[in-house]
A and B are shown apart, each in its own frame.
Chain A
Amino acid sequence: MLLVELRKLVGRPRTWVTVAMMLTLPTVVAVLIKVTGRAPRPGTGPSLLAEAFNNGTLFPAAALGIILPFLLPIAVAVVAGDAVAGEASAGTLRYLLVRPVSRTRLLVVKTVVLIVYVLATVLLVAAVSYVVGVQLFGSKPVSSISGGAPLSTTETALRILGAVLYIGWSMLALAAITLFFSTLTDSPLAAALGGLGVLVGSSTLFALDAAASIRPYIPTRYWLAFLDFFRNPILWRDIERGVALQAVYIAVFFALAWANFTTKDITS
């Protein structure tokens, strides 16, 4: 069942289009900076870009910062929105369920596929941007954002892995919310738009001073905390809060999706 779903994901052109976009954007940014020589001044522009300009080995972190605000969550919302509603609108959901595949199992498998998709994409972006960064900007022993002793290669790899997992966890929360929408409707577009609505709404509220009191609970609040993995020492405070906040969203929305999907009449 898991293999079947993975094969569906891999066999779908859309998957590769989104992956290609996420690989292309950071590369284009890197090339433009290299060609024009106009790196953002430290502290401005996409996070870490200025640092990456001086040291290509930091470029993976910058690349993740480039895709994190929109490109990645949009892709996650589209894939998650499609998970159940896509099968419903194609009519294949009823045939899967009478195969039979239990509803809980279907939901779990769809979630696992989502996680694989997010982690694989993020890892791929990290790997490709490492190569691009080193090629264009050269490599030095990595010093962290806030200075200090250079990091060993293992240490750097571990930190990148930490960032990748943290981003995956953050995306899983959005995926859970969108998956819940996906069990509510038979339209994958509506479900994906619901997920995007949450994303845009969160970003809007995040930027609004008047929303300061609810800011700690906004889903996107701690997304960029993955950058703290590249500080020395690692700044755990926001990372920990982010993990906890996302855990709540993940638990609540998976529970809602499960409760709704397992008791729902399938009329599609």
Chain B
Amino acid sequence: MTPSRTNGEAVISTEALTKRYGDVLAVDRLDLVVREGDRYGFLGPNGSGKTTTVRMLLGLVFATSGRIEVLGHEVPRRADAVLHEVGSLVEGPAFYNHISGRANLLLFDAAGAGGSRRTRRSRVGESLERVGLVGAAHRRVGTYSLGMRQRLGIAAALLRRPRLLVLDEPTNGLDPAGIREVRDLLVEINDDGTTVFLSSHLLAEVEQLCTRAGIVHAGQLIADQSVADLLAPTGLVRVTSPDLHSATRADGGAGWLDPVSADAHGATLRLGSLTVDDLVRRLVGAGIRVDEVVVDRPTLEEVYLELTGGASEAGVDQRRVG
């Protein structure tokens, strides 16, 4: 999951982006940077300003104040120069239900400037193939399932081989197999050089797919890190051992054994300056049997709930093992 390449220049950047709807402050001085090659997960609870931000990036909603640059151009002023290089899915796909999936893509492709008319059919065919919809392409969109509509939406976003994909909840309505397909597809597209910006409330999706994550809460960005850093070890290790519950003084007072909690099956220890390797060596040296050692990492859910204040208390102490 960790990218080996170094990511390049900013493809999306916002400065103090603010949107006010009447009395409601939907987005509040948001500074966002998405770099070329990122798979950026934009996380936030409902009503946190995610969709408003996405719409501002695409020039659909006008900011109250602040600046937006997408692919080096100012939006919305230069939106026309940028948007043909951006594929997007905003709040669910939308199609003309009375015509077929293929006809919808042909219309959609023909609507914008650029994109040669000669290669339109093959472009559409390629996109349909990529999302696995060739078989159903001749059917009226009205007969599609939610998952098929979603895939058709992704096909539409991919039509012009965009440099940047802006996707709002792309796996909405898909079954587990479909979610996996979309995930694999997005990774593949990203490997081909397309930056992926994905807004979601599905933590597992971001955890499995994204290389960077921004967490937005009440219109502000409260975290913006690589997913690897967000999920970095907490400095605690869970050691399963039949001896630890009664042997909290096993270090003979040297102080390296620093339990946070203990129970009949083992204990959660603070690593301090030790490496896991050192700790295990010392435990064994002190005659403590070690059955299992698990380095504690927060799940994205925990990080997210802690940052957004969704949980009253978050931390390793409250978690039950097993």
Contacts and interface: CB of A to CB of B under 8 A. Distances in A.
A155 to B, nearest CB: 43
A100 B112 contact: yes
A90 B96 contact: yes
A94 B60 contact: yes
Contacts, number: 73
Given A4-B111, A8-B107, A265-B60, A90 B94 contact: yes
A263 B62 CA distance: 8
Nearest to B115: A99
A191 to B, nearest CB: 18
B96 A3 contact: no
Interface string A205-241: 0000000000000000000000000000000000000
Interface in B95-116: 95-99, 107-108, 110-113
A251 interface: no
B95 A98 contact: no
Nearest to A88: B94
B80 A8 contact: no
Interface residues of A, number: 24
Contact of A101 (B86, B98, B111, B156): B111
A95 B80 CA distance: 13
B111 A266 contact: no
Q: Which of B80, B83, B111 is the most central at the interface, judged by chain A CB atoms within 10 Å of its CB?
A: B111
Contact of B94 (A4, A11, A92): A92
A41 interface: no
B319 to A, nearest CB: 40
B92 A8 contact: no
B107 A266 contact: no
Contact of B59 (A12, A98, A263): A98
Contact of B98 (A4, A7, A11, A94): A11
A4 B94 CA distance: 17
Interface string A1-38: 10110011001110000000000000000000000000
Given A266-B55, A266-B60, A100 B98 contact: no
B90 A98 contact: yes
A216 B135 CA distance: 61
Contacts of A265: 55, 60-62
Contacts of A100: 59, 79-80, 83-84, 112
A1 B111 contact: yes
Contacts of A96: 111
A100 B60 CA distance: 11
A98 B58 contact: yes
Interface in A82-137: 90-92, 94-102
Contacts of B93: 91
B171 interface: no
A267 interface: yes
Nearest to B153: A95
A135 to B, nearest CB: 36
Q: Which label, helix, strand, loop or mixed, suits the secondary structure of the B interface?
A: loop
Contact of B107 (A7, A94, A97, A267): A7
B88 interface: yes
Nearest to A95: B94
Contacts of B108: 95, 99
Contacts of A98: 58-60, 83, 86, 88, 90
B119 to A, nearest CB: 17
A267 B99 contact: no
Contacts of A267: 55, 60-61
Contacts of A13: 98
Contacts of A3: 110
Nearest to B56: A265
Contact of A12 (B98, B107, B110): B98
A12 B98 CA distance: 8
B92 A95 contact: no
A100 B73 CA distance: 14
A13 B84 CA distance: 31
A11 B61 contact: no
Contacts of B97: 90
Nearest to B99: A11
Interface string B141-156: 0000000000000001
A97 B110 contact: no
A29 to B, nearest CB: 32
19 contacts: A1-B112, A4-B107, A90-B94, A91-B94, A94-B90, A94-B91, A94-B94, A95-B108, A97-B58, A98-B58, A98-B60, A98-B83, A99-B108, A99-B111, A100-B83, A100-B84, A102-B80, A267-B55, A267-B60
Ranked nearest first, the 8 interchain pairs of A and B with the lowest CB-CB distance are A91-B94, A99-B112, A100-B83, A266-B60, A265-B61, A92-B94, A98-B58, A4-B110
Given A100-B83, A265-B55, 18 more contacts: A4-B107, A11-B98, A90-B94, A94-B58, A94-B60, A94-B91, A98-B60, A98-B88, A98-B90, A99-B84, A99-B108, A99-B112, A100-B79, A100-B80, A102-B80, A265-B60, A267-B60, A267-B61
